[in-house]
Amino acid sequence: MGTIAHESLSRRYIKQVGGPALGIIQMEPVTHDDIWQNYLRYKPELVNRLKLLFEINEPNADRLIYDLRYNIVMCRMHYRRVKEKLPAADDIQGLAHYWKSHYNTDKGKGSTEQFIQHFNHYVAGAL
């Protein structure tokens, strides 16, 4: 939820302004493809379940523009590749640092402070 709240300002953006990122998770097509080619390809049972769930033969990053469920699953697959355990759901500071380290990276423009602000506004404010 925090990734969605921060990356797309909770569905305000489904395509990055001036960039390649797509969907409410603002995932770049190259990242999407990397997940399928270098992570999921080694998990055939999971691939079969995803293909059945989304009724697809070949994954396509453009699906991120219109399929909210696909966004959520691809975001989870991105985090699932990380060996470090996810912080507790109520550890917002920990989630912000996890996001920065494993989703946005040190070179990304986003900050943990922005993540926390967006989480509090779009997620915690909606609970």
Smallest CA-to-CA distance from 11 within 29, 26, 28, 32 is with 26
Q: How far is CA 94 from CA 53, 69, 72, 81, 110, in A?
A: 31, 25, 20, 18, 15
Tell the residue number behind the tokens 């969907």, with chain if given.
23
Instruction: Give per-residue pLDDT as tens, 50-75.
Output: 999 999 999 999 999 999 999 999 99
How confident is the model at residue 126, as a pLDDT? Answer: 63
Q: How far is CA 43 from CA 3, 19, 53, 58, in A?
A: 24, 30, 15, 15
The pLDDT of residue 13 is above 70:
no
Averaged pLDDT, 39-49: 96
> pTM, whole model, 2 decimals?
0.89
**Angle (nearest 5°) at CA 111 between 108 and 117:** 140
